[in-house]
Structure 1
Amino acid sequence: MKPTFRLSAALLAALLLVLAGAAMAASPVFDVDRTFYPYYPSLIKWDKSTIPFNAPEVCGSCHPQQFKEWNGSVHSLAFKDPVYQGELNKGVKAVGHDIARQCEGCHSPIGVVTGAVKGPGLANLPATALNGVSCDVCHSVSGVTHWQTPSHEPENGSFILSPGVEDPNNGQTLIKRGPFKPSEECGGGFHECRESSLHLRADLCASCHQVYHYEAHFPLEATYLEWKHGPYAQQAILCQDCHMVDIATFKRSADTFRKPERQEYRHVFNGANYLLSYLAAGAAKKNGEEELAANLMKQYEMEVERLKAAAALELSPVYRGGRLVELKVRVKNIRAGHNLPTSLTNVRQMWLELTAKDETGTVIMSSGTINPDGSLPENSRLFNSDGMGNDFHFSVDPWVITAFSRHDTIPPRGYKDVYFGVAAPAAAKKIVVTAKLRFRQAEQHVAEELLKAVPKDIDLEQLYGLRAVPPLPVVDMAVQETTIATSL
């Protein structure tokens, strides 16, 4: 009997090990509750009811200043953006609309939950869907589900939309939330006002400024985490303190860690997407909307100025044996509360252009000068990322990228040093070195491919006057020139 008992125990132990191993193998790294997230891979939740969402113009009738600030912001253009529409169209063709809905959830939240947005394109959409991240999106957010997401971090629109409540006795009540205690007359009888501490936290922005791969949950964009893991979070300087203010206030917040006063906040949501603002300004002017065009150009100018305020350069020589052998360029992130660059870092380009000339003006060394076809030379020193898919091959498509093979960005208040070898002519006693930190929102051929891929109902020539994709505008974020002796 004893041998049988021992054999049974051994078999039972082996069976338990097999079952445990199978359970472990079957357990996914990222669990997805599709009942909890009915719009997956968008992680929006909606307290579904017959309470209507309102177009921004409705809000603007009582809040004209806030409407004017928002109108022309990147939030207002989030869904209309032709680069986004081209990317969305490519994504739908590659992996289907169900997956591409992840993008739509942040670019047109109301369009997704109401079912108005059914794919790429702008035709036959209501204003609530067309206007992207509108007043009624942010002010209907009642909470976030960051911990419940598959990654247990903010990602892909992990917020809750609650535009109001229904009561069988009292009917519908619209509810709008904001960061401050409302006055008694707030809402003017049209909606109820509620104070929301969430609107005073970066968690509100985190929901959409953390973009993860729809299946692998790899962070393609990690702007919120870059902020959270940096010094600005430690000093309680939030997204709103830099992106909802004018440039002077932004610089003050970044330099002194002093929060803006209540009256200094604006609904401009100003960032670095100057290309979108510039294109939209041209379209507004072409359409005879002069006030909107002026507002968009103001946004464009702020975005360019913001980029120019974000970074600084330091140039210094390196000597060996008394002769100049290298140039050290220190690239400093002096004001961005997140990494430079941020967002879709495998597409955005920030790089160093360096030129050295002798006393006669002859170029003896150069790096990072744009080629005639818009590409960068292979030796260019870039600060961005290279994406790769499951096969570990390079890719720029967000539905493919599940890791970075290279991730080289500069953290808040951080720096990176770059060394350039230089061989000055023996007769030269000094050289003049010019360093530029340059930025554009994509490589030329990438932008051309995306704009060629826009849906058929978006006529680039009719809307923007574009018969061909022009050279992408480049912003010089920082420029430093110095004269350096070739020997000690």
Structure 2
Amino acid sequence: MKRTSRLAAIMLTCFIVASTAAALAAASPVFDVDREFYPYYPSLMKWNKSTVPFNEPKRCGGCHSRQYKEWNGSVHSLAFKDPIYQGELNKGVKAVGHEVSRQCEGCHSPVGMMTGEIKGPGNAGLSEMALAGVSCDVCHSISGVTHWQTPSHEPENGSFILTPGVETKDGQTFIKRGPFKPSDNCGGGFHKCEESPLHLKADLCASCHQVYHYDSHFPIEATYLEWKHGPYAQKNILCQDCHMVDIEGFKRSADQFVKPQREEYHHYFSGANYLLTYLAAGAAKKAGDEKLARSLMQQYDMAVERLKSAADLELLPVYHDGALDELKVRVKNIRAGHNLPTSLSNVRQMWLEITARDEAGKVVMTTGTLNPDGSLPDTARNFNSDGMGNDFHFAIDPWVVTAFAKHDTIPPRGYKEVFYGLHFPAGLKKVTMEARLRYRQADQKVAEALLAAVPKDIDLDQVYGLKAVPALPVVDMAVKQATFDTAQ
């Protein structure tokens, strides 16, 4: 009887412990969301709301003409008008609803989302402030970040605080923040200037350059963490030190770990998105704004040159029993402070194209060449990620991807090696191998699908002069040739 009672007591205790654990697990999910703290969820932006308005970029350009000219035509200025983004947004809204799309809008047009002006995809009827995307007044109104308070306890989905100004007994006071101690006449009587240590940190950029699934909080894009977990963070080379300088400044920062001088910083925000500036240049030409078109093509050239400066290749022969049997290709990330590729790595394509020629120049082997329809062959060595949804099946849409089945990008100052088996015609004594590291921002069919999904108020022919989706431009990031004996 005593043994039975003791066993019952043990079983009761186990039941209570298990029930308590289950209740605690249900009450404390891994990704806890404080919706009061984040009123625009799934965007994690916060706004110290007052009657102080935000200012259009042209107004800032009245006093800061150089900075305005550099920003105008940057990817920040095009973040909301980007037709590929608009196509993705339109697809997302149809799939999961507009409330969820605030996650995207919070970084692509923070002011338009917060004020409620943006009510869905499309540009029709929106103010210049909403259309300006990531404008001067967005970055220079950031007064803090909430990276630790996010559901993942990491920067994600716009986790910054906007404070464009304050109300005082004398009326509205605009406050603009920057990285340096303000001069005596800073603001010219229009706004107050404040020195912001945050603007000298990569944390400023982290909020939007960390895109997590709106509900599962899986990092679909983790550019900031790639940087933070790499050598550039350890050497105090920040996002600003590479993306707010010209090409030569970028190379110096990346090669020598030397920070730029104050006068070397610009508001280019130059990255790898050459497709966006290419499309926008076409729109500017069609609108008759040749000056803006030239500025956009300068941004295009900078993006392409940056890509060509980021990587390198080594070709190494592998002999077995005296015969050239394999080619080892080492792909090196030599200058990107984050992984190559970064951002939406399950959409980006960075692959190797290998060609072998005999002594007469005749092609005897090739792999990684695009198919006639513009698609990448399955056999190509593609350095990217494969997304999957909750069902563990392949997925590409950001509102579906909750994990990676494959994540094969190259870390900063790191490399990956690829081996190619070689088979040559009899009698061949020397072979010339050529390797190309090629890049484009999306698969041809993906781009066609997104541009086909743009909202009805964006006429691709009328705005961009596109009657059909052209072949996406491909950049050769690195090209190397070497000639090897087929036998030792």
Scaled by the length of structure 1, the TM-score of the pair is 0.98
Is 1:79 aligned with 2:80?
yes
Alignment partner, residue 173 of structure 1: 173
Matched residue of 1:394: which SS? coil
1:103 paired with 2:104, answer yes
Aligned AA for 2:434?
T
Query: Quick check: 1:324–1:424 contact (8 Å CA) kept in 2?
Result: no
Closer/same/farther in 2, CA of residues 354 and 49 from structure 1, 3 Å limit: same
Can you list the C-alpha shifts for 1:360-398, whole angstroms capped at 9, x where unaligned? 333221110011100111110000000000011101100
C-alpha deviation, 1:426, in angstroms: 2.4
1:113-142 deviation per Cα after TM superposition (whole angstroms, max 9, x unaligned) = 111111100011111110100000000000
Note if contact 1:72-1:296 (Cα within 8 Å) is conserved in structure 2: yes
Q: Hey, what's the Cα distance between the residues in 1 that align with 2:283 and 2:347? A: 24
Paired residue for 1:135? 136
- Hey, what does 2:313 align to over in structure 1? 313
2:61 maps to 1:48: no
Could you list the structure 1 runs, at least 4 aligned residues long, displaced by more than 3 angstroms after superposition.
Answer: 2-12
Deviations 1:282-318 (A, max 9, x none): 1001101111111000000000000000000011110
Partner SS state of residue 199, structure 2: helix
Which residue of the partner structure matches residue 148 of structure 1?
A: 149
The Cα shift of 1:170 comes to 1.8
Indicate conservation of the 8 Å contact 1:223/1:342, yes or no: yes
Q: In structure 2, what is the Cα distance between the partners aligned to 1:200 and 1:281?
A: 31
Identity %: 73
CA distance 1:9–1:330, change in 2 (3 Å): same
Q: How far apart, in 1, do the equivalents of 2:383 and 2:221 lie?
A: 15
Match of 2:375 in 1: 375
For residues 352 and 193 of structure 1, what CA distance do their matches in structure 2 show?
Answer: 49
Q: 1:377-396 counterparts in 2 under 5 A?
A: 377-396=377-396
- Whether 1:264 aligns to 2:264 is yes
Matches within 5 A, 1:437-456: 437-456=437-456
Give the structure 2 partner of residue 341 of structure 1: 341
What SS class does the counterpart of residue 111 from structure 2 fall into? helix
Unaligned runs of at least 5 residues, structure 2: none
- In 1, Cα distance between the equivalents of 2:359 and 2:264? 50
Taking a change above 3 Å as real, the CA distance of residues 315 and 11 of structure 1, as seen in their structure-2 partners, is: closer
* RMSD of aligned Cα (Å): 1.5
**Partners of 1:9 and 1:331 in 2: CA distance:** 64
Number of the residue aligned with 1:459: 459
Deviations along 1:322-345, one digit per CA (max 9) or x if unpaired, are: 000000110000000000000000
The number of residues matched between the two structures is: 487
SS of residue in 1 equivalent to 2:372: coil
Does the residue aligned with 2:466 lie in a helix, a strand or coil? coil
CA–CA distance in structure 1, aligned partners of residues 74 and 484 of structure 2: 44
Shift of 1:8: 9.2
SS at 1:313's partner residue?
Answer: strand
Q: SS of the counterpart of 1:115?
A: coil
**Corresponding residue of 1:158:** 159
Q: How does 1:11-26 map to 2 (within 5 A)?
A: 13-14=13-14, 16-26=16-26
In 1, distance between residues paired with 2:460 and 2:448? Answer: 12
Task: Please tell me the residue identity of whatever aligns with 1:113.
Answer: M
C-alpha separation in 1, matches of 2:192 and 2:399: 40
Distance, in Å, in 2 between the alignment partners of 1:4 and 1:231 is: 63
Cross-structure match for 1:29: 30
Structure 1 residue 28: Cα displacement = 1.3
**1:324-335 alignment runs, 5 A limit:** 324-335=324-335
- Aligned-partner residue type, residue 81 of structure 2: K
| Equivalence for 2:184 | 184
Mind listing any 5+ residue stretches in structure 1 that lack a counterpart?
A: none
Q: Distance in 2 between matches of 1:3 and 1:225?
A: 57
